[in-house]
Structure formats: C-alpha cells, structure tokens
Chain A
Amino acid sequence: MNKDVIVIGGGIIGCAIAYSLQKRGKSVVLLEKHNLVAGASGACDQGILLQSKAPNEHLLLGIRAMEMYKELGRELGRDLEFTQKGYMLLMESELECRVMDGIIEKQRALGLPVERISADEALRRQPGINREEIVGATWCPWDSEVNPYMTALAYADRAAELGCDIRTRTPVTGLVMEGGAVKGVVTPQETMYAETVIDACGVWAPEIGRMAGLEIPIRPRRGQVYITEAVPLFMRCNLLNARYIVAKHHPELLAGDHSLKAQLGVGFCMTQSGKGNVMFGATREFAGMDNRCTLDGLREVLAEATRLMPAVKELNVIRTMSGLRPYSPDSKPLIGFVDGVPGFFMAAGHEGDGVSLAPTTGKMVADLIIDGTTDVPAAASFNPNRFDLRPKAP
C-alpha cells in the first residue's frame, strides 16, 4: 500500500493530524495499536486553558486554539460539548498573589481578559470553596472546556468520511528504512509505504523513535483523577490552584517541600462534564509506564480536593481513572521533521496540554508538510531538533 502520509497513534493528536491532512487533499492512513483514544486522550480532563500559558507567543497559541475550538463542532458536524465557563486559579499565599499579579499584567497586555479577584468574590463565583484556605483568585472567562474523547472520535470519523483509512488494532512494529530515510512502516498484517511517517504516539513515541535510531526525550507523567456521579449544575466555573504555575517561576517554592503530596506532584483541579459528572485531580508523577491508580495517589488527591473544595464531600464517586501525560523536558511538544532522518515527522510530547493544543497541532502539521511553513504562533519553539535526538554513546 502506498499513501502520502502514515500517522501512527490514534489519540487526539493523531486524529487531529489525520483530519487536517486529509482535509487538505493528502491521502492518509492512521494506524492505532488498540482502539482510538486508548491512551492519554481517553483518560484526561477537559480544560482548554489560557491562564496557564506564559505571557508570550504561547499565550497567542492558546488563544488561537480556543478560537479554533469555537468553530470545530460545526466543522466536524458534531456537538463536542464545548463551553466557556471560565477558570478560577485559587491562590493560597501572598507570594502566590504577587507572582500571579506579575503574570496577569503581561497576559492582559497580550489581550487576555484575566483579572485578580478577592477570596469573597471567588466564593460568589463558585460556592463551596474553603474560604479559610485561600487568599484570593484569578479569573479568566476565556478558559474553556471540551469533551476530549468525543473530539478525537469526531476528528477520526470526519477524516474517514473524507477518505482517510483508519485502522485500529494495528500496531506499528517496525519502520522501513532506506539509506537513513524512513520510507514506510511494518505492521503484523502488511508493510505500507508513504512519503511521510508521523510519530503521534504520546508516551509511546520513543518506541517508534527507536525504530528510526532516535532517542526521543518524552517520559510518562501519570495523572490520577476521581469522577463523581452526574449531578445538576455544581461547578459554575472550573477550578485550579496556582501552585504549579507559580512554581514554574519560583521553583524554590516547592524545593523544600518533601511531603507525599509534593512528591506525587498533586495539583488541584475540578471541573464538571457536559453530562454532569464532577471530575477532580490530579497527580503529576513519574512512575514509568504503569497507568494504574494507587492508594497513595488517590488519598492525596482526595485530601487536597476536600481541603480546597469541601462541598465535594456531598457527592458520590463512581470511578477513578489515570492516564499518562507525554512529558517533554521543556514542557513543549516536539512537532516537525527530524533532521538527518528524511521522511520522519514527530508530533508528540504535549504533556498536560494535548487537548487544548490538538486543533493548532493538526493545522501546524498540515501546514509544515504541505506548505513547508506555518502561521501557527510559537511553532518554531516546537522544533524537535532543539533536542539532540541521536542516541548517546553507551
């Protein structure tokens, strides 16, 4: 079989890419080892977050992604449960407020409507928060939500309607290499050829990279979450705590903290799905490829959620879930052709932002492959060649 492009991986990133390329007239086959959204995209939260973006071209990228999501349901012909309830970032100390004030000022200068609000105002916007634990909050009405697995499936279904060949239960077990270039892929059923092979395998991207003799620096960062029964409107807006955003700018804030909570990287987030299920989490742990929930992880997440949002104690939990975020060393995905390996294109490493960035990633990949250039903001900072991808000498 011969195609223009082979996309490996049927998560939200692979599905968005397959759709974007097929829409622009490329012939595409998408290969997924298990079923669609078998990885992180089937075990994640729904946030399209702008407040968490650094006040530079990355914020502009986030804004573009949010704007694309506004139109996406119509484009794909399906309700993706996109809503814009906004996010509040809870702050627990004066230091956090100071740091966030600095960030907000720069974000506002770039056009993001984000503001500082008092603890009382935070409680008015979202009843049930623990007034004793917070000193203030930030509020951004542009932060949004979307159903991640429905988005991925809608991308895949629309791509298929346009002629994309989607094959589930089809693992890529090897690459066809010729003189250092990638010419195709091997699966248990057949060998396929294409001009371009895209590695969109999330945390499994390094396995495909190794088949091309590359060392891809992506590591799994596990996230454990709780899901409650569906209830009437409980979250008027979405919640997050500011701790990890502040820590990005002031690492010393976390450096002295050796508690289990800190070791597991527990950050607080709480949202409610379109169906009414409240979801909260989450850990941010390096625990290899093990994606099970753990007693320690669930305990710490529960303690943090009931501390900051005691009202959640009234709800019944029906499920817990965990997924592996594709972490890259500088928290940015690797998107682009790999130098020295013609035909091989990377598109993985979105860590906790893959849902937000799926539409812009799809567009960026199609632009780069078809036009050789793109107007997607921050695209240059995702160039995979910023890392040394050649294997280190043993």
Chain B
Amino acid sequence: MAETADFPGLSSSVSGLREWGDRLRRSSEFIVIPVLALFVSGILFSVFLLALGKSPADFFSLVWRGGFGTSFSWQNTLVRSAPLILTALCVAIPARLGLVIIGGEGALVLGGFGAAAIAIPMVPWAPTPVLLGVMALASIVCGGIWIGLVGALRHYRGVNETISSLLLFYIAVSILNFFVEGALRDPSDPNKPSTMPIGRDNMIGMIPGTDVHWGLVVGIVLCVLLYLLMNRTTFGFAARITGGNLRAAQAQGLPVGRLMLVSCAIAGACAGLAGFLEVAAIHGKANASLIAGYGFTGILVSFLARHNPLVIVPVAVFLGGIAASGGLVQRRMDLPDATVLVLQGLIFLVILVSETFYGRLPFYRSKGEIS
C-alpha cells in the first residue's frame, strides 16, 4: 500500500493501534444502539405499568426470576429459545439479500404438521431414529418449499416478499386446521383436535442432566453453520453483494434470482425444523399449539441481532427468558399473560426506530453516512 503512507498524519507506527481502536469504536455502535433501545423500551414499559398501577421494579425482578433466576427457570428459558433461534434464522438469512420475510411462523406450522403427518403411517413399524430422521426431513422440505415459494414469487413475478410470506402464514394455518380437524384427526383425543401422537418412546430426549431437549444444540450448530455459509463461502459473498446492491450483482453476472430462491428455501427449512422440534420434543403431535408465536418473536430476535447468526443465540435466550417469565408475572402481579407480549412489541418498535440512528449519534457521527 505505497500510497497510504502519503497521507498527512498517517504515521505507520501508531496507525495500526489507532486503526484498531477506531474499528472497535465503530463496531461498538452495533452494541451500544441496541442496548440503548432495550433501555428505552424498558422505560416506556415502566410507564405502561405505572399507568396500570403496578410496580415496574416488581415486574423486572419477576422477569429476572422467572427467566434466569433459578435452574428451573433457566431450563424453561432454554426450551423456549430453541425454536426462537431457528425462526430467527428464517429472517436473518434472507435479510442478507435485502429480503424481509415475516412469515416464518407459517413454515414452522407447516414443518411441524408435515413431520407429524408423515409419522402417522410409520409409527407402528419404524425404529425411532428412522422415524425422527424422516420427520425432520419432511419438516425441512415443507418449510423450505413454503418460504422458497416466497422467493420464487418475488423472483419470477415481483411479488413483495413481506406480504406474500405473511399471507402464506394464514394459508399454512388453514392447511393445518383442515387436516387436523378433518382427515388426520386423532379420534381417540376428545379435547383438542390433533394428529395421532408419535408416542412417548419416539420423542426426542433431553440433554443429560437437564430438562432441555436436544433442539437447542441443533439450533446452535445451525447458527454456526449458517454464519460460515454467509461469511466464508462464495455463496454467502454473492448473497451479500446481491443484498447490498442489486445492480452491482447483476453487472457481475450473478444468478440473483437463484440466490434469492435458495436463501429463502434455507430460511424456510430452519423454521420448518423448529416445527419438527416442537412436535417431536414437546407436543408429540401436531395441533393448534404449534401456533405459539415463535415465528413472530423470531423476527424480533433477528432484528435485535442485526441478522448475525452468531448473535442470534444470546438474543434468543434473552427473549426466551422474557417469554418464560410470563407465567410467573401473571400469577404474582395479577397481570394477564399477554403483558410480556406488550413488552416484546415495544422492544420491536423501539429497535426499528433505533435502526435510523446508526451513524447519527454524535459519537459516531463523523464516520457515518451523510445526507
């Protein structure tokens, strides 16, 4: 780099250190802003609680206890984080290509249903590993096709991916209801319309010494793999070019449409897998309990993590903890279960607003984009 030495004031001996410090300062923006946003949402939520005549201090200490305070609450939190990690990936991967997918819940529901449906004829004869393998595969295929469809609509017909993924969620729910209340309903279950259970013995077990099922490990491994895919492969590089500047990607002759389609399919496969885990580790069958909002909370997780697969894991645990504390808050403070949803919604709103502050805080100002 002969020319850099020509800059006035750039003396090479200290420049390395300064550059490093500068990079640290710049990347700290990605932590400082979300943390500030969380803080602001906390304040707004306190105002909401005060208006209801409740104590914010009680609330936050209960959230702490219900989510992270005891080993029992930790396990509850981790069980909830597993699907959140996977549905967040369903948002994060397409986001790298500039696509905003909000219908991960649909892929989860369909993935769970597909897994449960394919299990019905197999349960009597298939050994557990084969059964679980086929179920997982079915959920991956269902979810992948579902969100892949969103990518295809976008690529071939220019349909807005956000809207189509949301509409496909409603269709997925209808498909689930249609079969679960009709052809595939388990007649022996009088309470809730469900598919036939896969049976206690066929379900995914717990990580030894805990009450947390293996889905958490699956999620973490997938995060690492997809991080590598996006940052260490030519596919990921091409995807980042496409997401950063479509015209530049076209001028490089990149197969833009195929990239969108494939990343959507990968995204859907992750959410589908979340559905499989809910069926095979928690419910043992497919029914309306699959529609628990994990797909929507996953959107929040991905945005908070700025669509970085590695950051998704801690963020999912954090939001899983808030969700896990819902029951305790309900019992102790006489607040409805939905209270924590209000908090989640507030966080999401503030996070979206905070997106506009990148490069604008005085401390980061000189570095940022202008105009």
Is this pair of chains taken from one and the same complex? no
Q: Which residues of A contact B (CB under 8 A)?
A: none
